[in-house]
């Protein structure tokens, strides 16, 4: 194949030019077979994509699809807004289906945490901003990126080490 397809390249990036279902997940799955690392560099747990392997369905909203491959390192990068309950739910679904997950996932300490209050804000803004629904998934992704942009977001690294510091940051964010 020609080099513009990503086949045979040392690094391949799959980017979307639209909002919505473009088939990025399927393309990443096709390419993942030939790479050592599969990474998500932005986005959150919104629409996602479904893969069927040997008749078993796997729904990915947050995790990289490389989690289905035993020899791939998967990365959630610093541009991802991470909803921890969704992460644990997806990891649990994999382990329930016999897919090992230990040692296959690395999460950037600089990725921002998406909290349930981001989802609440998203649901409120969905109607308030325009008087009608604007079509978000109501998963809190926009409000979490707003927290990131205004520099009052909380990062994965804030969970490590200084728990009281994390609690103070969280209280500051929800009471602003």
Could you list the active site residues?
A: 21, 49
User: Quick one: which of 17, 39, 36, 20 has its CA closest to 28?
Assistant: 39
Name residue, tokens 């080490």.
161
Beta-strand relationship, 112-113 and 37-43: unpaired
CB 39 within 8 A of CB 75: yes
CB 138 within 8 A of CB 122: yes
CB 69 within 8 A of CB 33: yes
């Amino acid at each position: 194949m020609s080099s513009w397809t990503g086949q045979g390249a040392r690094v391949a990036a799959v980017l979307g030019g639209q909002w919505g279902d473009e088939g990025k997940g399927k393309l990443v799955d096709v390419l993942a077979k030939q790479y050592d690392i599969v990474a998500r560099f932005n986005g959150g747990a919104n629409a996602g994509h479904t893969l069927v392997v040997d008749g078993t369905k796997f729904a990915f909203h947050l995790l990289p699809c490389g989690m289905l491959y035993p020899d791939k390192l998967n990365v959630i990068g610093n541009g991802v807004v991470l909803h921890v309950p969704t992460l644990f739910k997806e990891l649990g679904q994999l382990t329930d289906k016999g897919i090992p997950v230990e040692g296959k996932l690395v999460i950037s300490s600089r990725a921002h945490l998406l909290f349930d209050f981001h989802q609440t804000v998203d649901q409120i803004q969905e109607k308030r901003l325009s008087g009608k629904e604007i079509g978000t998934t109501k998963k809190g992704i926009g409000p979490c990126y707003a927290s990131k942009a205004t520099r009052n977001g909380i990062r994965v690294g804030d969970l490590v080490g200084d728990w009281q510091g994390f609690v103070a940051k969280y209280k500051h964010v929800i009471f602003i």
